[in-house]
Amino acid sequence: MAKSRFHYELPDHRVEYGAEVEIASLKIDEEAQRGLNEKRAKDISDGLIVDALGSIVVSERADGNRYVVDGMHRTAACRMRGLRTIKAEIHYGLNQQQEATLFLIKNRESAKVSTLDEYKVGLTAGDALCVNVDRVLKSHNLGLGSSSTNTVGAVSAVLRITRQYGPEILNRTLTVVEAAWGRDKETWDGVILGGVAMFLNRHGSSIDDNELAKKMLKRGTAARWRAEVLTKASNGGYNNSGTGSRENTCYQLVIEQWDKGRTAAKRIG
């Protein structure tokens, strides 16, 4: 079983199983779970077998409002089919943050939740890893999502860097690559971020980040770096299908570039 990225913890609270709830009364809080995929809900509706629906998970907050925690697409499908009620497992007295945690608990072994969705809900849940990543990204005016000028698409890489090396290394990594290549979707490539982070984690105490950025730029653009990494990883003694081996290849290239022009005594490699 794969180890979860996040830490889950809930307070003791009352839970009611097998309750019939009015579908019209149910609300959705998209900060506490992923967004609704209308096509998926329609597909479920088209092939709906009521007896096979199972129970959704609902949170009844202190104000009496009920929010769907897990089973949003089944609920939407039932609405489309005009059903009035659905069976539910009702959790009482949770707040929004705890609902987000419950969502992660219910979906931690499910492939249906993307890393980005899990990150967003983890942020609402107050997960330390997500909070640290969010803080660093905001300090760079960056977000997580599809790669663009101001959005990092390498969600797994950013989470892994922060989990393995800490938020300060993530911060330095983002600073170095932006100083080298500016703001471009190629700048935020996950393999490059991973290789630079590995370098800074191992050798950062003796590294000047501005000098490192200038040296990396001399080797070429971010796109050229990625192409060289992929070529070397596939032609060398690495498994080119593994993210770790490609990041290690990038790490070796960063060492090579940093050492250029240095005396033997001052080289890292």
191 or 108, greater pLDDT: 191
Residues in the chain: 269
Q: Over 60: is that where the pLDDT of 127 sits?
A: yes
Tell me, what's the pLDDT at 172?
Answer: 98
What values do phi and psi take at 114, rounded to 5? Answer: -70, 160
Per the structure, the count of domains in the chain is: 2
- Do 60 and 137 belong together in one domain? no
Q: Which residues contact 227 (CB under 8 A, 6 or more apart)?
A: none
Can you tell me whether residue 66 is helix, strand or coil?
A: strand
Q: Over 50: is that where the pLDDT of 231 sits?
A: yes
Instruction: Kindly report whether the global pTM for this prediction surpasses the value 0.75.
Output: no
For residue 135, what pLDDT band results from cuts at 50, 70 and 90? very high
Average pLDDT over residues 11-27: 93
Tell me, what's the pLDDT at 236?
Answer: 55
- Do 156 and 257 belong together in one domain? yes
- Do 175 and 252 belong together in one domain? yes
Q: Which of 96, 115, 138 is the last residue of a domain?
A: 96
Q: Which residues contact 196 (CB under 8 A, 6 or more apart)?
A: 173, 176, 177, 216, 250, 251, 254
CA end-to-end distance (rounded Å), the chain: 37
For residue 239, what pLDDT band results from cuts at 50, 70 and 90? very low
For residue 5, what pLDDT band results from cuts at 50, 70 and 90? low
Residue 34 DSSP code: P
pLDDT in tens, 40-83: 889 888 888 888 888 999 999 999 999 999 999 999 999 999 99
Q: What is the CATH number of the domain that holds 32?
A: 3.90.1530.10
The DSSP annotation for 159-181 comes to HHHHHHH-HHHHHHHHHHHHHHH
Q: Over 80: is that where the pLDDT of 230 sits?
A: yes
Average pLDDT over residues 166-175: 98
How far, in Å, are 66, 89, 217 from residue 80 at the CA level?
19, 21, 55
Q: Over 50: is that where the pLDDT of 240 sits?
A: no
Q: Is residue 101 part of a domain?
A: no
- Do 153 and 244 belong together in one domain? yes
- Do 28 and 151 belong together in one domain? no
Q: Over 50: is that where the pLDDT of 20 sits?
A: yes
- Do 87 and 28 belong together in one domain? yes
Q: Is residue 256 part of a domain?
A: yes
- Neighbour-count burial of 173, counting CB atoms closer than 10 A to its CB (0-12 exposed, 13-18 middle, 19+ buried): buried
Domain that holds residue 81: 15-96
- Do 144 and 37 belong together in one domain? no
- Do 173 and 259 belong together in one domain? yes
Q: Is residue 111 part of a domain?
A: no
**Residues 65/29, Cβ–Cβ less than 8 Å:** no
For residue 197, what pLDDT band results from cuts at 50, 70 and 90? very high
For residue 238, what pLDDT band results from cuts at 50, 70 and 90? very low
**Residues 193/199, Cβ–Cβ less than 8 Å:** no
